[in-house]
Structure 1
């Protein structure tokens, strides 16, 4: 099993719910890079179909079929400065822009697609923009998105194995274990959590988030030990 997949994809749908779907383009990779699409009803739509917003996509054969099930693609969203993934390719194919937070720097020049910036809300999607992290040491700019029901977090928390220790359904990123984003995410009460690495949380999501944030520092030594064992192959 490779840490990051490449080449031919085998897109695996995940996180299906009314108005949303996700996928993992390389199901066998350890990173479990997950992408998501959310349908938003727009009364001004020319097609009469919902607008589909695509978050941090990894492209692959069959992705467009998943998107078409929801409606017409209206935009692609990047929530992490280093998560450019295949956002530009998906945006170009659907003739839409890549949307990035207005405070996110050093990203636009690397995107071979039209770019639009947004502030506290993501267009007319109903999603608020939450600044999870904006730091130079380590370099990390990340936005999460919350519409009162669905919380989308690109990197700060995840369900992939390298995020979690035994007993955790959701884990804080290894680099943020001692400084978890409690101020930004701690007061939220989502029905579901969609993450950039791994399948989402659709049951007792708010509880899983509270446990991940509150236990982050306490379980950090176990996660780091697990990581070292994995690297050593023991």
Structure 2
């Protein structure tokens, strides 16, 4: 199993309770008590399902759900003390898949999580990701997986298989910061070790071939201390 569940609730007792029950069922849980930290987590880790409280101290759950639906399709369960039909309708309208009101039985929440994941995995083989694409066109950078060709502003780039795979992975995860560890393990299919500069060296060669300025690249951005991103 080991699906990743994002839990956001400012009531620590509730968040901690869900954390315990979900982990006991084999899920990996990313737990937050505010919306800001939860949105920051989404840039680094893509969950398979989110459980969002509506009433948060900074950003409400409806806003987080809207931000998720701008890029992702994984299931969202709204969890709130609000019982008005208008709140339920709003949550479902902006893209939530289910709605649970407090107080609740944590076993029921786990059961609904399983139901949503099972339904989503059945109809969406590429879990949590937009539909699989064979070509990306990002501001003049065109990369095609089938032909294994890449052009920049109409000029073909001569890429090694490793360079192509790195660039494809970044394009496939456009808008998300990808860590060096994730890139290495996805492309080289080996365990990443600390102080491994392999990814950095290949990214440097990629930028040279793309004639990217080192200080302010237009395509492959460095997020210091985190990884790389194609915006």
Q: Give the TM-score taking structure 1 as reference length.
A: 0.29
